[in-house]
A and B are shown apart, each in its own frame.
Chain A
Amino acid sequence: VAKTPHGSVVKRRSKSQIYQQSIRSCFSVASRLGLTPGQTKMRLNTSRKAPKSQNITDKVTPEHLALMIKTEWQLSYVTPLYQFRHTQLKSYARQLSAFIAAEKQQGLAVEVGGQQNTFKVSFSVLEGLAETNDDPETVLIQVQSKPLFARPDDPQKTVWSGWLSCINSNPEYLRSLSKDFTCLPLFGCKGAEGFTSLVKDWLQRTFDCCFGLLEISQTSLQWLAALWTNCHMESNVQSLKMHWALPVVPPLHVTYTVSADDALDLWNSVRKNSPEKSKRTDEEECVDIEEVTRFMQGLMSHFYRHFRVDLSAGDLTRVSTALGSAKRSGRIK
């Protein structure tokens, strides 16, 4: 497997920028996996670039940033969209609105706030998340509701949000697609399940695409554990919390929380002694999967020394730090 120094986890100075950094690391990981599961095996990198400075708040508006962070998204992968145009967003909003209204009339249970609500759909471009020039811009979809007899100045409430995104995709892959296709392989959503299926349904019918649930693999979770710990150099991640599930009867859950300072010391000691160090130049800080594995092994051996329980017999199901959390089921924050 060739080494492709791919995902740039961007370095941040302020807290909001750190969140942005964690989003990118998550999205990059997930986005790459979104490029059709069949191909992921060949595309999984063995090394990633460590953080480098960049000014991101220039690229993403504070309002957009506030929408994305501190909220848990359920991830799915999407196949390329046929004849999707970033210029047609207003039309798409109208069409989706009409679709939802029609489905409601047919009696589909979209009971958010009762029968009386009217729903308004908006499509917008969330600029700034795309990394390379080839990445299409992220599209944000929101469903807002207002009770039927509300006053004109009553605020609209967002009952469902979702977005389609593409960050740091493989340029070769993008170029191999025909011009009619737009690649936005990562879909994230939060809100009532009823809306989620309606939106997915409409997208599938309109753009001839397919959705699939994106699970975050053990390896990806381990990457996040290591990369987020690495971020502790720049910003306080407070602690590294890992959830494991052991396959016994009844199932045993282990929550292993390590103080961030100590986790960082372990991480640095792994990197300092790693044979991969010689392959790094000063300019390109690369993190190799061997280092991630050794970091996890260090944590597991400390656990074993005390409890004589082998965590690798179970599954890592969730990783979280102050920067965010990622779950095996494809939920990310």
Chain B
Amino acid sequence: MDDSAKRLLQRLVRRIPTQMLRDTLDKWERLTAKQRAFVDFTQSKWTITQELLAVCEERELNVKHIAELEMIYVIGNPNQGMWHTFQLVDAEDDAHSLELVQFKEQFKTHLSELKRNVAVKIKKHTDEAVWIRIAWGDTFSRPNHLKATYVVHYLQTPFVFVSGLLSKHKPLLLQVLTLSTRHQGIKDANLSGQKLTAIRDLLMRQYQHVFPTKYPSPLAERNRSVSNLHIENEQAEASANRHRMAGEAFGNGMLPALQSAVYKLETKFRDLTNETMTERDKPLRCVVKFSSPNILESLRHCASTGIASTPVTPLLSSIPLKGRNYFVITDNAPSASSQMCQTQD
């Protein structure tokens, strides 16, 4: 095994938790059962590395095989690193009938035409996703397998998810993607996050967006005085309304675990109690970031408890509606101004 293969293997053993390493090696199917049994997973990672290096040498495996191992691991554990979403635009006539074989051929051809020394692996996953792993090199150097880019694309949809892409490779990759999917352009979808499954679900609307017809009402107490009854009825109705509107804005049931949303605001300050500031011509520049283990659930809870006033502002409901989590809001944008009108009472 050459150096790059050894280094990649060492890196993988360090990075992958032991139990998962075992499972990944099983799925890899490059080692015999006997060889897999030879590796003692109860030992230290260093020992495991040495043993794996030995069996891989026996099988005369090279860096391409180790890259395959990494790919299996990433496909099985996609919620790491940072994924960015792109959207293909202006489909050509034959885009919709594009098949996997065609796409694979086209992608590899276009990429090799535009860049030398690039190692590409394409795999179709069970859920219709096409996974692509790219190790970049150039005229003077071999592909760097330690810093591979991963691309996930669902054929028949315009969405592409990318992770581990350096800015110098970005234009090239986007061009190749556009060509091989038979589209005319590609743009930033302004949706990024650590959990691929969450951003994918958000876009594909695969999560439940049901509208239940019944809402739980507050528990009935035993000895209620008349005044309490009135208050409770009032509160129950208000609470039910909030819950309904929260569900309408964000969805009901399980929500995809999007972890952050960023808003860049450049809008004027408007507050009747502060005339000086309201008269200022310049916008107030600020950046707001929402973060939580699941911001959609947090925001829904804000709406149902009244921390966020209902109806929910389009700024927030745009996250699930438009499937994006990065927004630039100015006073001039037509959508922004209609939002401003709504929030100004």
Which residues does chain B contribute within 8 Å of A255, judged by CB atoms? Answer: 287-289, 291
The answer to whether A272 and B276 have CB atoms under 8 Å apart is: yes
The answer to whether A256 and B286 have CB atoms under 8 Å apart is: yes
Nearest-neighbour CB distance to chain B for A254, whole angstroms, equals 6
The answer to whether B308 and A306 have CB atoms under 8 Å apart is: no
The answer to whether B277 and A266 have CB atoms under 8 Å apart is: yes
Nearest-neighbour CB distance to chain A for B56, whole angstroms, equals 35
The answer to whether A269 and B312 have CB atoms under 8 Å apart is: no
Which residues does chain A contribute within 8 Å of B291, judged by CB atoms? Answer: 252-253, 255
Are A313 and B307 also in contact (CB < 8 A) when A246-B302, A306-B313, A306-B315 are?
Answer: yes
The answer to whether A248 and B343 have CB atoms under 8 Å apart is: no
Are A301 and B267 also in contact (CB < 8 A) when A246-B298, A308-B309 are?
Answer: no
Nearest-neighbour CB distance to chain A for B76, whole angstroms, equals 25
The answer to whether B269 and A258 have CB atoms under 8 Å apart is: no
B334: interface (CB < 8 Å): no
The answer to whether A301 and B271 have CB atoms under 8 Å apart is: yes
The answer to whether A252 and B290 have CB atoms under 8 Å apart is: yes
A273: interface (CB < 8 Å): yes
The answer to whether B288 and A307 have CB atoms under 8 Å apart is: yes
Which residues does chain B contribute within 8 Å of A270, judged by CB atoms? Answer: 274
What's the dominant secondary structure at chain A's contact region?
A: mixed
The answer to whether B298 and A249 have CB atoms under 8 Å apart is: yes
B270: interface (CB < 8 Å): yes
The answer to whether A248 and B307 have CB atoms under 8 Å apart is: yes
Which residues does chain B contribute within 8 Å of A252, judged by CB atoms? Answer: 290-292, 295, 298-299, 301-302
A302: interface (CB < 8 Å): yes
Q: Bound state CA distance, A237 and B343, in angstroms?
A: 31
Which residues does chain B contribute within 8 Å of A247, judged by CB atoms? Answer: 307
A91: interface (CB < 8 Å): no
A265: interface (CB < 8 Å): yes
Are A305 and B270 also in contact (CB < 8 A) when A250-B294, A251-B292, A272-B276 are?
Answer: yes
The answer to whether A307 and B313 have CB atoms under 8 Å apart is: yes
The answer to whether B277 and A265 have CB atoms under 8 Å apart is: yes
Nearest-neighbour CB distance to chain A for B61, whole angstroms, equals 39
Which residues does chain B contribute within 8 Å of A251, judged by CB atoms? Answer: 292, 298
B297: interface (CB < 8 Å): yes
Interface string of A303-321 (1 = CB under 8 A from B): 1011111100110000000
B329: interface (CB < 8 Å): yes
B339 closest partner in A (C-beta):
A306
Which residues does chain A contribute within 8 Å of B298, judged by CB atoms? Answer: 246, 248-252
B265: interface (CB < 8 Å): yes
B308 closest partner in A (C-beta):
A309
B344: interface (CB < 8 Å): yes
Are A254 and B289 also in contact (CB < 8 A) when A249-B301, A306-B313, A310-B307 are?
Answer: yes
The answer to whether A306 and B265 have CB atoms under 8 Å apart is: yes
Contacting A at CB under 8 A, from B266-283, are: 267, 269-271, 274-277, 280, 282
The answer to whether B307 and A307 have CB atoms under 8 Å apart is: no
The answer to whether A248 and B305 have CB atoms under 8 Å apart is: yes
Nearest-neighbour CB distance to chain B for A70, whole angstroms, equals 24
Nearest-neighbour CB distance to chain B for A80, whole angstroms, equals 42
Nearest-neighbour CB distance to chain A for B181, whole angstroms, equals 36
The 10 closest A-B pairs by CB, nearest first: A252-B298, A269-B276, A248-B301, A308-B309, A269-B277, A259-B285, A255-B289, A258-B286, A313-B307, A250-B293
Other A-B pairs, 18, CB within 8 Å; known A252-B290, A256-B287:
A248-B305, A249-B297, A250-B297, A250-B298, A252-B292, A254-B289, A257-B289, A258-B284, A259-B285, A298-B269, A306-B263, A306-B313, A306-B315, A306-B329, A307-B288, A310-B307, A313-B307, A314-B307
Please, could you name 12 A-B residue pairs with CB atoms under 8 Å apart, sorted by A?
A246-B298, A246-B302, A247-B307, A248-B307, A252-B298, A273-B274, A294-B274, A302-B284, A302-B286, A306-B263, A306-B315, A306-B343
